[in-house]
Amino acid sequence: MIEEGSKSSKSMVEKRQLFMEMRAQNFDVIRLSTYRTACKLRFVQKRCNLHLVDVWNMIEAFRDNGLSTLDHNAEINVSRLETILSSIFYQLNKRLPTTHQINVEQSIGLLLNFIVATYDSEGHGKLTVFAMKAMLATMCGGKILDKLRYIFSQISDSNGVMVYAKFDQFLREVLKLPTAVFEGPSFGYTEHSVRTCFPQQKKILLNTFLDVLMADPPPQYLVWLPLMHRLANVENVFHPVECSYCRSESMMGFRYRCQQCHGYQLCQSCFWRGHASGPHSNQHQMKEHSSWKSPAKKLSHAISKSLGCMPIGEPPHPVFPEAAERPQDLAHTTQLRPVASNMNDTVLISSGTPTPSKSTLESPSRLDEEHRLIARYAARLAAEASNSTQCPPTDLSFNFDANKQQRQLIAELENKNREILQEIQRLRLEHEQASQPTPEKAQQNPTLLAELRLLRHRKDELERRMSALQESRRELMVQLEGLMRLLKDEEQKQASQTGTSPHSSPSHSASCTMPMPIRSTSAGSTPTHTPQDCLAGVGDDVLDAFSQGVPRNLRNDLLVAADSITNTMSSLVKELHSVDDGLEEEEENMRNGREKVSSLKHSGKRQSTPSF
């Protein structure tokens, strides 16, 4: 009984872990409910590592787990949900570099508990397929445009028209997310939610759907959704502006500028908490800035806008064809992954092309060529789609020509793929033949090989010695430069104090503590130390010049030190010349050795040639 009680208590702690960590962030001090909700959901997204999963990877996971063939109202249990989440995060770790791997088990546990707490609060142990798709497609990473296009493909009919009942079901499921983070009073679902977004007597197509949800401002119930994406985009944005309240000299994230108080700007922390100072009030209208533009850029932007060199208003999204889009479940697509995976892996979709073998993915030139062909093919399809919207639908000859061009392009891609496979096979055979041992290699003289290895070892030693001598020369030059700078500064100081000519001989006490550059192991770093530390290893004359106890003439000591360094440099240059001569001699020996090996090869061939 005690063990069962400890397990149940541990399970409760795991279920509440994410919410406890969210409460520790103290998001409730944010004054506006929109920012408060977006910050909480962004925290959940990052804590569960969903921001690393693109929406296209999420759609692929739905397809791989068989969800694209299930009805939206079908129910799945928690164990299958855990299997789906496991496939999502394990595939994510395969795409990430080894230095950015995530804790898969922890991510699965946190996200599973959050989904169960959000969509199965009564403890039935089941949730619908549509609820899981809506939640994961909303909370994953990627562009909001791609997410909305996928959502529209799930709530529209075969004619590309939105079904109001399905959109109402989507709102019912997606608005459970703000309720799960304790923001239900502001963004909870009501029966009037659909009517506030779309009038039910109007036919809603894809472009209208995107216009409404990506408008500024968006519908009241979904105003937190685009804000969550803007938060992700400005997390590392820097503004070199001072906050008018907290007096911070720089801002990170959003920047807010008052439309009434001239030059009054607040950082996102002060604005979210409702701070104000001076004549500014929280009732004033504030403009949100997600980037920083210098005054010169603002001036050029205003001039270009006034002269008509740039469009005044840009559409929030590209205009898509009015024809119905195929549901984006990726049921008949293949995914071509780049060879080098990184944090921003791109999913390349190619419909109708043959799936390449594993060996073909190892050729960067093949990938580049195929990417260019796919891009050209996509551009042609986009141009044909835009032209088809302008031409009457009864133009059958145009459709026939377009289909013919598409088939020709697909045939070109298939031929190119076969040529690449043949080239890869040929290169593999050449590599295998080159790697096989030959009788000529076996007939080489082992004495010559040992001599060559000795010559290479000697050359490496000389190169290391050359590098050490060059480093010593560089350090001595740095010390000499510091000494001359110290002498110049002392002369200027004495001249300013006595009013005499700077060329007069200055006197200095033995306890001088003026800074000067010393030896450093990294370029560009010049830490400041005392002159005694700067002159370590130069010579006794220089050390005596800065020793404490007996005052000496600093100018004469520095001149002596400079002579000492000059002599040292001369000896170093001579030694470098001698090393260069030795390197030339060793290179000549290596060339002679190669000629001997070559002559032995030719002699071996002549001996092995039969005579008739």
Under the banding of pLDDT at 50, 70 and 90, the label for residue 516 is: very low
Query: Which residues on adjacent β-strands are paired with residue 350?
Result: 334
User: Which amino acid makes up residue 130?
Assistant: F
Say which residue, 525 or 126, is predicted with more confidence: 126
> Per-residue pLDDT tens for 289-329?
888 776 655 555 555 555 555 555 556 677 777 665 555 54
**Which long-range contacts does 288-296 make (Cβ < 8 Å, 24+ apart)?**
288/254, 288/255, 288/256, 289/239, 289/254, 289/255, 289/256, 289/257, 290/230, 290/233, 290/234, 290/237, 290/254, 290/255, 291/234, 291/237, 292/237, 292/238, 292/239, 292/240, 292/241, 292/255
The pLDDT, as a whole number, for residue 348 is 35
The string of DSSP codes covering 441-484 is HHTS-HHHHHHHHHHHHHHHHHHHHHHHHHHHHHHHHHHHHHHH
Specify burial of residue 89 (Cβ count, 10 A radius: 0-12, 13-18, 19+): buried
Mean pLDDT is lowest, of 147-151, 325-329, 416-420, 454-458, for 325-329
pLDDT score at 474:
82
Query: Residue 192: what pLDDT?
Result: 79
The token pair that represents 497 in the structure block: 């104090």
Residue 357 pLDDT: 37
Average pLDDT score over residue span 194-219 = 86
Q: Return the higher-pLDDT residue of 398 and 139.
A: 139
Q: Looking at per-residue confidence, does 182 or 292 come out higher?
A: 182
275 contacts 256 by C-beta, under 8 angstroms = no
Helix (H) or strand (E) holding 525: none
Q: Is the dihedral of CA 158, 164, 167, 172 positive or negative?
A: negative
Per-residue pLDDT tens digits for 445-481: 677 777 778 888 888 888 888 888 888 878 888 888 8
Please tell me the predicted confidence (pLDDT) of residue 118: 92
| d(C-alpha 112, C-alpha 106), whole Å | 10
| pLDDT score, position 190 | 83
Q: What is the pLDDT of residue 567?
A: 73
pLDDT surpasses 80 at 388: no
* Residue 189 pLDDT: 85
Helix %, strand %, coil % for the chain, to 5?
60, 5, 35
Report the percentage of the chain scoring pLDDT > 90.
32
Phi-psi region of 278 (alpha: psi -120 to 50; beta: other; left: phi over 0): left
Q: Is 528 exposed, middle or buried (0-12, 13-18, 19+ CB in 10 A)?
A: exposed
Range of weakest confidence among 475-479, 497-501, 559-563:
497-501
Q: For residues 158 and 330, which has the higher predicted lDDT (pLDDT)?
A: 158
Q: Of 164-173, 361-370, 577-586, which range is least confident?
A: 361-370
pLDDT > 50? residue 127: yes
Mean per-residue pLDDT, 191-196: 80
Compare 567 and 152 and report the one with higher pLDDT: 152
Residue-wise pLDDT tens digits, 230-286: 999 998 888 989 999 998 888 889 999 999 998 899 999 999 999 888 889 888 999
**Contact of 92 with 49, CB cutoff 8 Å:** yes
Check residues 366 and 96 and name the one with the higher pLDDT: 96
pLDDT for position 404:
74
Question: Which residues touch 366 (CB under 8 Å, ≥6 apart)?
Answer: 360, 420, 424
- Residue 480 has a pLDDT of 82
pLDDT bracket for residue 129 (50, 70, 90): very high
Q: Tell me the C-alpha distance between 357 and 162, whole Å.
A: 40
| 236 or 525, which is more confident | 236
86 pLDDT more than 90: yes
Q: What is the pLDDT of residue 514?
A: 40
Most confident of 70-79, 346-355, 448-457, 503-512: 70-79
12-16, 18-22, 107-111, 483-487: least confidently modelled range: 12-16
Task: Report how far residue 63's alpha carbon sits from residue 178's, in angstroms, rounded to the nearest whole number.
Answer: 27
The H or E element containing residue 529 is: strand 528-529
Quick one: pLDDT at residue 205?
92
DSSP label at residue 505: -
| Predicted confidence (pLDDT) per residue in 37-57, tens digit | 999 999 999 999 999 999 999
Is the per-residue pLDDT at 440 higher than 90?
A: no
Split at pLDDT 50, 70, 90, the class of 414 is confident
Query: Residue 574: which pLDDT band, with cuts at 50, 70 and 90?
Result: confident
Bond prior to 279 in cis (omega within 30° of 0):
no
Does 423 or 516 have the greater pLDDT score?
A: 423
Centre a 10 Å sphere on the Cβ of residue 530 and count the other Cβ atoms it contains: 15
Q: Phi and psi (nearest 5°) for 438?
A: -115, 155
**Angle at the Cα of 56 (from 340 to 111), degrees rounded to 5?**
100
Report percent pLDDT > 70 for the chain. Answer: 62
Q: Could you tell me which residues are beta bridge partners of residue 211?
A: none
pLDDT at 606 over 60: no
Lowest mean pLDDT among 2-11, 331-340, 461-470, 589-598: 331-340
Give the number of other CB atoms < 10 A from CB of residue 100.
12
Interior angle at CA 386, CA 158 and CA 204, nearest 5: 40
Highest mean pLDDT among 184-188, 333-337, 598-602: 184-188
